[in-house]
Amino acid sequence: MKRFVISFGLLCLFVSPAAAINEFSKQWKAEYAGDKADEEFVKTVRRAGCYVCHVKSEKKEVRNEYGKAVSQFLDAEDFSKDYVKANPEEAKKKILEGIKKANELKSSDGKAFGDKIKANELPATDAKL
């Protein structure tokens, strides 16, 4: 029983940031891979999944260049599950603002992340996909 309580307590420590990351992904996909998006780009985004912001075959803490850019403007700790649930529109607005700021930055190939997304390309060059 003691192990269960300790394990559950540790699990609770990690739930909130994971919920925020899910919310970041949800909002990004709704904005850039939603109903009006190019069908092939939507398929590419679905195949990429977490690797839009993370590096394939690495720990989830490892972000690719786009994930690093997004993390400059968004902190998962600011978007707890309770906060997002209580303030869905405010959370959405803040998340999209952060993503749009990140999209203004340039990828290592010299193109702005946002321009790459508009051209139906995944933003990061170092996702190892």
- Is 113 inside any structural domain? yes
Tokens of 105: 């930055």
Residue 129 falls within a domain, yes or no?
no
Residues 22-80: tens digit of each pLDDT: 899 999 999 999 999 999 999 999 999 999 999 999 998 999 999 999 999 999 999 99
10: in domain? yes
Q: Is residue 128 part of a domain?
A: no
Which pTM does this prediction carry? 0.81
3-state SS string for the chain: CHHHHHHHHHHHHHHHHHHHHHHHHHHHHHHHCCCCCCHHHHHHHHHHHHHHCECCCCCCCCECHHHHHHHCCCCHHHCCHHHHHHCHHHHHHHHHHHHHHHHCCECCCCCEHHHHHHCCCCCCCCCCC
Is residue 125 included in any domain, yes or no? no
- Containing domain of residue 97, as a range? 2-118
Number of domains in the chain: 1
